[in-house]
Amino acid sequence: MTLIKSISGIRGTIGGPTGDTLNPLDIVKFTSAYATFIANRHPDKKLKIVVGRDARISGQMVRQTICGT
């Protein structure tokens, strides 16, 4: 499945080439961009971002990658 980027988020199959599927490098890039965007909009506040996930096997890896980023 090709990596799908839209206003509602990103979707893709875990693993494969960067930019083509959803792999850890893509997750780090999207997470970093989102965190930077939020931090720039609220520069004087210490903010928290809630990370949710489903029960798929890959969910734990995605969550750890996001929280580590």
Tens of pLDDT, residues 52-63: 988 999 999 999
Contact present, 60 and 66 (Cβ < 8 Å): no
Which pLDDT tens digit goes with each residue over 1-44? 688 888 888 888 888 887 788 889 989 999 999 999 999 999 99
Residues 55 and 48 sit within 8 Å (Cβ to Cβ): no
Q: How many CB atoms lie within 10 A of CB 62?
A: 18
Q: What is the pLDDT of residue 15?
A: 83
* HSE value, Cβ hemisphere, 13 Å, CA-based, for 4: 8
pLDDT at 29: 92
| Residue 67 pLDDT class (50, 70, 90 cuts) | very high
